Amino acid sequence: MNPTDKPNLPDLRVSYDQGELDEHSAPADPVELFTHWINDALAQKLPEPNAMSLATNGLDGTPTVRTVLLKGIDERGFHFYTNYESRKGHEIAADARASACFLWTDRHHQVCIKGAISKLDHADAEKYFASRPYGHQIGAWASAQSVVIPSREWLEQRDAELRAQYPEGQVPCPPHWGGYTLLPGEIEFWQGRVSRLHDRIRYRKEHGVWVKVRLSP
């Protein structure tokens, strides 16, 4: 690579000056604040505002992270769907502790969540699976997620075979595919501020009650 083509990373800077976050006026329930922020991201038409980085504990003890899509929030936690036989599925089965992070760069907002993951009922998976586009449904059958495969052509052939087997509107929910929910025990909100003196408000569940504090940036 020509030295002039290298990214000038040390000089990349953004001034964070779009808002503020105060621990005294923030709601008592962090899910209320999260809902307000993600609705704001939706209103601003940010790309994939429900994308969250999900970190789990690898089977070898090394943390792993990937991006999944948030598909619901209720008293059970933050929901996402995936292949149970994937790497993250095996990691969750071995250690349910996990973290997630949302970053809405244009709004200078970040939310980090720590908690425990459990499976949603299969009825939830079947309902959501039925709402997915046909190609996504076939993909859930075609992909043995995280497994080494011989080629792209092998995957496309598998996709074609399954389309022939399952016509549109007749694709069942795979038994190896379903939903998880991350029940938070801690949620931290980050609001970018001028001069890197950011606002950080942490909520932690203590004896069944959310306790919020301000953290130094």
The catalytic site residues sit at: 196
Cα–Cα distances in angstroms (integers) from residue 29 to residues 33, 95, 112, 122, in the given order: 7, 27, 15, 29
| CA–CA dist 36, 214 (Å, integer) | 19
What secondary structure letter does DSSP report for 18? S
Q: Answer yes or no: are the C-beta atoms of 115 and 183 closer than 8 Å.
A: yes
Residue 80 and residue 117: Cα distance in Å, rounded?
10
Cβ neighbors of 69 (< 8 A, separation 6 or more) are: 48, 50, 51, 52, 80
